Amino acid sequence: AQSVTQLDSHVSVSEGTPVLLRCNYSSSYSPSLFWYVQHPNKGLQLLLKYTSAATLVKGINGFEAEFKKSETSFHLTKPSAHMSDAAEYFCVVSDGNTGTASKLTFGTGTRLQVTL
Amino acid sequence: NAGVMQNPRHLVRRRGQEARLRCSPMKGHSHVYWYRQLPEEGLKFMVYLQKENIIDESGMPKERFSAEFPKEGPSILRIQQVVRGDSAAYFCASSPGREAFFGQGTRLTVV
């Protein structure tokens, strides 16, 4: 069984300050991990993914995440927040151990608010 | 290569009617997933299909809900005799492997 815990339901930062969105996972196999972003009334956009290559993963819009197996964490960071980053962020795990597609398990989401 | 296409984007149904949600996966993708997002919640897995086969339907309600992915044509999520609690955003994703690409979703409102 696989699960994801997003430790904060809401995060508020000032524009220009760093962003940290926390995620811990549980998986029976070597997981693939993803961060998706959802802007209001929009679909889901993939920010970045970890699939057992480099542990530090760079994504779009300046976001990155580090896979830490010892801590079972995959926190999302960005050095400097922009107003356009305000959205809902989902940490997602997939444990398709055969390398084929398997169902994705979503965290409950973290709403990022960016203030002036 | 067009993305995952879902239609309609918005669907309003009266209680007791049927809702049909369509999803065309990206070209070359043979795996399709359906997820439901209730207001203020994350996405919950419903069903995983490959062409003509249901692989995992552990998230599907036992009654009124069904899904198919025929050899030709889009995947269909069908909800019979809709109730107010079915109001949600329904997202489809397609995948060639581990990574999933999501459509824009269908927002179902039951009145």
Residue A98 confidence (pLDDT): 46
Burial per residue of B39-58, b for 16 or more beta-carbon CB atoms within 10 angstroms, e otherwise: eeebbebbbbbeeeeebebe
Token digits of residue B37 = 């997002």
Asked whether the beta carbons of residue B97 and residue A102 sit closer than 8 angstroms, the reply is: no
**B81/chain A closest Cα distance in angstroms:** 26
- The phi-psi region of residue A98 (left if phi > 0; otherwise alpha if psi is between -120 and 50; otherwise beta) is alpha
**Residues of A whose CB is below 8 A from B98:** 32, 51, 94, 96, 99-102
Residue A4 confidence (pLDDT): 92
What residues does A73 pair with on adjacent strands?
Answer: A24, A68
| Signed CA dihedral, B88, A38, A36, A16: sign only | negative
Among A33, A101, A37, smallest CA distance to A69 is for A33
Is residue A97 very low, low, confident or very high in pLDDT (cuts 50, 70, 90)? low
**A81/chain B closest Cα distance in angstroms:** 23
Residue B30 confidence (pLDDT): 86
Contact A56, A66 (CB under 8 A): yes
The pLDDT tens digits of the residues spanning B73-84 come to 999 999 999 999
Token digits of residue B99 = 């990574």
Burial per residue of A8-39, b for 16 or more beta-carbon CB atoms within 10 angstroms, e otherwise: eeebebeeeeebebbbbbebeeebbbbbbbbe
Residue B4 confidence (pLDDT): 92
The pLDDT tens digits of the residues spanning B10-32 come to 999 999 999 999 999 999 888 89
Concatenated DSSP letters for B29-57?
--EEEEEEE-TTS-EEEEEEEETTEEEE-
**Residues of B whose CB is below 8 A from A45:** 102
The pLDDT tens digits of the residues spanning A50-73 come to 987 788 999 999 999 999 999 999
**A99/chain B closest Cα distance in angstroms:** 7
